[in-house]
Amino acid sequence: MMMMMTKSMTNEMQMCVNACMECHKMCMETMTYCMTKGGKYMDITMMTMLRDCAEMCMMCTNMMMAGSEFSDRTCMLCAEMCDRCAITCEKMSDDSKMMECAAACRRCAESCKSMQMIPV
């Protein structure tokens, strides 16, 4: 993982990086869980959303840690994708693992939204 090059990381940025890393981990774990369960859990739309959300969370983390001038826009897209992933997971509200993933996505989305208000 890259280190912050230009500025020191604020507490808000560190919280967002942590939320993105947790969401990435949760989406990856949930994909594995879904593959083990099979059936309706292998829905292509849901699996694609989990993968895309995990990838976007990692990209967002990397952009913030590198001090990229594009990190605010990356956070905006990450928030949107996390919200959509949460909605997808919440369709299986009777499954605690899916709801755990949805909660991690919601936390990440909120953290990314708060980053849009902070000058980088």
Angle at 32 between CA 36 and CA 101, to 5 degrees: 115
Radius of gyration in angstroms for the set of CA atoms belonging to the chain, rounded to a whole number: 14
The 10 Å Cβ neighbour count of residue 3 is 8
User: What pLDDT digit, counting tens, does each position of 103-115 carry?
Assistant: 999 999 999 999 8
Q: What percent of the chain has pLDDT over 90?
A: 85
Model pLDDT, residue 76? 96
Single-letter amino acid, residue 111? S
pLDDT at residue 117 above 70? Answer: no
Domains detected in the chain: 12-36+44-115 (1.20.1270.360)
Let me know how many helices (H) and strands (E) the chain has, helices first.
4, 0
pLDDT at residue 23 above 50? Answer: yes
Q: pTM to 2 decimals?
A: 0.89
pLDDT at residue 118 above 60? Answer: no
